[in-house]
Amino acid sequence: MNDGINAVFLRHGHAMTPAESGADSDSRRKLSQRGKEEITSCANKLISIKFNPDLILTSPLVRAMETSKMILSLLNNPCEFLTLEELACQTDPVLLMNAVRPRIINRNFPVIIGHQPLIGALCGYISGSNPIDMHTGAFALVKIDREKLKQNFKSCGKLIDIYNPCPFL
């Protein structure tokens, strides 16, 4: 995994309802126990494929921030960590990629953590396919051609793998 950009697009882990977590809004929902188990499984998979992130970009929503912090801790790999407002739920994939591109262009192993359907739409856009249906805690590994990314991010990558910690949900 050393040519181009090997990007992981990760959907946050399962979250409690606002009532369960005592949150006053959707944006403040916390990870559930199931969500924490999903992210632990995801981190173990990333470790097994020797994926060492050099950047984590995350949505500012609580469940995504908790997911990001778990990934950082479980991978035990200090790297740059940035919150990106554009990763919060309702952004157009093109606008999101315009925000993401300058941050990943010189990276080798970025992790982008967000929400469905946006994260799946972004993966589909980059890999030239339909949006990818991603369950909570799932990730897609996409190999991005750095030169193509510099010019046009549509279809600049190839979907390598999808990992779903709960394949029967």
- Specify the pTM: 0.93
How confident is the model over 65-95, as pLDDT tens digits?
999 999 999 999 889 999 999 999 677 777 8
Domain that includes residue 72, residue range: 5-16+29-163
Interacting residues of 55 by C-beta distance below 8 A, sequence separation 6+: 79, 80, 81, 82, 103, 104, 107, 109, 110, 111
Number of domains in the chain: 1
The string of pLDDT tens digits covering residues 36-52 is: 999 999 999 999 999 99
> Which domain CATH number covers 141?
3.40.50.1240
For the segment 131-144, the average pLDDT, to the nearest whole number, is: 96
Instruction: Calculate mean pLDDT across residues 130-140.
Output: 95
24 domain-assigned: no
| DSSP 3-state of 167 | coil
